[in-house]
Structure 1
Amino acid sequence: MATAVSKPPCVVCKTPSITRCSRCKIVHYCSPECQRKDWPTHKIACTPSSAAGKSSNATPPTSNNKPTLPDPSKVLNVHPVGSSSSIPSSNRKVPPKASSTIFKFEYKPSLDGVDENLVIFFHGLGDKMNPNFVRLASTLQLPNTATCCIQAPTPVPYLEEEGWQWFPSFNNLTGELLGPDSPERMLQVKQLVRPELIKFLSHCKSHCGYDERKISLFGFSQGGEIALDLAAFGGFNLRSVISIAGYMMEESQNNDPALKKLNTRVMIMQGDKDDVRSVKEAKDKFKYIQRIFGKASSEHLIVEGMGHGMPASEHGWRPLMEFFAQNLDSGSTGVEHMSDIFEVK
């Protein structure tokens, strides 16, 4: 006699599901409410199932029935329920002026029309803001959130392709990597990078209308170092910082934060296969971050199998998206105007 097959549990509350995501056909939910709650983290791995329609853009699931992660260099092809055309223009913030800083930047308003939060992205050593980080910022599709990618001020010497650095990183004569005993590193941070970023954040507050408690920073490697430096010594009580494979610069480890009471939440992500910094070294460096931002506000995540790079799996992206979901505000228009919620079938 055939045995009845029970339905998979809801991915959010673990109760028996009654439906599933109509896009990927993989993740199950007990209600539309649970789907909305899970979407900020699920969307990073949600790709169209071959059964979801005949669109030429659909990507079939892999042979082990796990969803294929989106290519960070491509913007997700989403089809939201409803339209953002009805969103009042009053929910838009004034874009920052190009004259607000000498740094090159690219600002994008929220895709859902509500500029409640602002996330600023800082690329790593030898990279540039466009296309990689501009596309990443768009691909994340954070609700009620505008994004701004800033390019480092100094070109990396002797590179065949264009690449930029936040502070001098190589000896121009020998090509060797500069360490914390090289005074030119912190000199550029204190005299150029930090003042310019402080000026830009002040402009985002006074001209654009952003509350500093709704501004978050996202940095990779050297960009993560700069994001943490700005959060610690910029004089702002920012909402949060995510740093991938980046810690505080060693030159500043004897300094106290600009504000006596920092309420900024910090997440540091480090791969256990990182060939730049061992897990032990990373844990030692994290102790200083805890001293600056407080143990209760600092989180250190070691990702198994991850090297010195951005996360390449749902295992790495999910905690980042959960962190965003916990630290991005959505006002009264947040749920009603979320343009990235799909109809549940």
Structure 2
Amino acid sequence: MVNKPPCLVCKTPSTTRCSRCKVAHYCSEACQLKNWPTHKIACTPSTAPSTVKSTTASTTSTATDINSTSNSGRTVPDGTPTLPDPNEVLNVRPVDPHTPNYPPLRKVPPQGWSTSLKFEYQPSADGVDENLVLFLHGLGDKIKPNFVRLSQSLQLPQSATCCIQAPTPIPYLELEGWQWFPSFSNLSGELLGPESPERMLQITQLTRPQLVKFVRHCIDHCGFDSRKIILFGFSQGGEVALDLAAFGNLNLRAVISLGGYLMVESQTSEPVGKLNTCVMVVQGDKDKQRSVKEAKDRFKYIQRMFGKDNAEHSIVEGMGHEMPNNEAGWRPLMKFFARNLDRRETGLENMPDVFEVTP
């Protein structure tokens, strides 16, 4: 058995060493940083070339995986992992959530002047507005009471929610109902199809610009990160959510669409930039608006737009064109939320001796 050299600071057997001189051994970055004021006098660059360039990702932690060669260290030809080179400037600073520039737990609520669309905003019930989930209702619905109640019942951790109402009322409807783009002829009341130019005209001139303006307001004014914003849309609202993610140039985190696909009219369009947005489309196998085969054909365009690795299609047995009403329907949605919602370690942030390490 080969004895491991001791760490210069704490004498713990170590498998990592300084990536600059390749001589001094340390068991952790903490020990390396502690010894650096003394070691830098004798630390001279090794003549052995490194095969992997060092990159260090921003992190907040009390410990670092010192065996990682992809994020925090290098590997030299003999295979021994090394710690980051202190000469490459690692910025280490204490984490203090009480400083003015530290991200607040509560975000600034969106203001009514940010959009012509009606909306209902609710901060996270657990006091941490790390994520923002925007709910877009279906054709003929409105934000109250159904969607506001839905956003509350999901109890998403560290997530503020906002239900947005479509811009135009449906004509000839006795009860109040709203639409994201014209679905019925004002003259005859007949259903409008993809061949009707007024559908996409309202999307490009009213719906999409107002939604983009609102999301930009949530990012620039309220302090939300675009990569922590998720869209949740039902039916026509799902179509609009996918449209916004594809053509809004917002770099959103994810989209969930229940029974909605990208509009047929947009299938000849190209996305704005490379899309890193994750997408889940949920389709019931009893949906009378489209068969499972038709749904799979429509989903292929979503895969081309967002990438196969980013797009997920869930066919729920026994579900029609409706919200999920049992565990089987909600399970894939909640798993998707769990994968895409960020969590802020507020307990860790308030502990002493926690440091933020950045390149």
TM-score past 0.5 threshold: yes
**Structure 2 counterpart of 1:164:** 178
Whether 1:108 aligns to 2:122 is yes
Whether 1:225 aligns to 2:253 is no
CA-CA distance at 1:333 after TM superposition? 2.1
Q: Deviations over 1:281-304 (max 9, x none)?
A: 100000000001000000001100
Letter in 2 for 1:264: T
Contact in 2 for aligned 1:143/1:334 (Cα 8 Å): no
CA-CA distance at 1:172 after TM superposition? 1.8
Q: Which of 1 and 2 has greater Rg? A: 2
Distance across 2 between alignment mates of 1:328 and 1:311: 20
Q: Deviations over 1:87-128 (max 9, x none)?
A: x99300000011000000000000000000000000000000
Whether 1:325 aligns to 2:338 is yes
**Structure 1 counterpart of 2:328:** 315
Whether 1:306 aligns to 2:319 is yes
CA-CA distance at 1:330 after TM superposition? 0.2
Whether 1:201 aligns to 2:221 is no
SS in 1 for 2:203: helix
Q: Deviations over 1:18-76 (max 9, x none)?
A: xxxxxxxxxxxxxxxxxxxxxxxxxxxxxxxxxxxxxxxxxxxxxxxxxxxxxxxxxxx
Letter in 1 for 2:223: G
Distance across 2 between alignment mates of 1:195 and 1:126: 21
**Structure 1 counterpart of 2:34:** none
Whether 1:127 aligns to 2:141 is yes
**Structure 1 counterpart of 2:187:** 173
- Structure number with the higher strand fraction is 2
**Structure 2 counterpart of 1:8:** none
Distance across 1 between alignment mates of 2:189 and 2:324: 29
Structure 2's unaligned 5+ residue stretches are 1-101, 351-359
Aligned partner (choices 281, 298, 301) of residue 294 of structure 2: 281
CA-CA distance at 1:336 after TM superposition? 10
- Relative contact order (alpha carbons < 8 A, sep ≥ 6): 1 or 2 greater? 1
* C-alpha distance 335-319 of structure 1, shift in aligned 2 (>3 A): farther
**Structure 2 counterpart of 1:73:** none
Distance across 1 between alignment mates of 2:136 and 2:347: 26
Aligned partner (choices 148, 152, 159) of residue 145 of structure 1: 159
1:53-68 pair list within 5 angstroms: none
1:184-199 pair list within 5 angstroms: 184-199=198-213
> Normalised by the size of structure 2, how large is the TM-score?
0.68
Letter in 1 for 2:112: A
Letter in 2 for 1:95: P
> What is the Cα-based RMSD across aligned positions, in Å?
1.7
* C-alpha distance 230-334 of structure 1, shift in aligned 2 (>3 A): farther
Contact in 2 for aligned 1:127/1:163 (Cα 8 Å): yes
CA-CA distance at 1:334 after TM superposition? 7.7
Distance across 1 between alignment mates of 2:148 and 2:343: 23
Whether 1:237 aligns to 2:251 is yes
**Structure 2 counterpart of 1:9:** none
1:22-61 pair list within 5 angstroms: none
Distance across 2 between alignment mates of 1:204 and 1:307: 34
CA-CA distance at 1:173 after TM superposition? 2.1
* C-alpha distance 176-110 of structure 1, shift in aligned 2 (>3 A): same
CA-CA distance at 1:171 after TM superposition? 1.1
Letter in 2 for 1:151: Q
Q: Deviations over 1:195-244 (max 9, x none)?
A: 11111111001100000000000000000000000000000111100000
* C-alpha distance 163-202 of structure 1, shift in aligned 2 (>3 A): same
Structure 1's unaligned 5+ residue stretches are 1-87, 338-345
Whether 1:268 aligns to 2:253 is no
Contact in 2 for aligned 1:144/1:334 (Cα 8 Å): no
* C-alpha distance 309-335 of structure 1, shift in aligned 2 (>3 A): farther
Q: Percent identity?
A: 71
CA-CA distance at 1:335 after TM superposition? 9.5
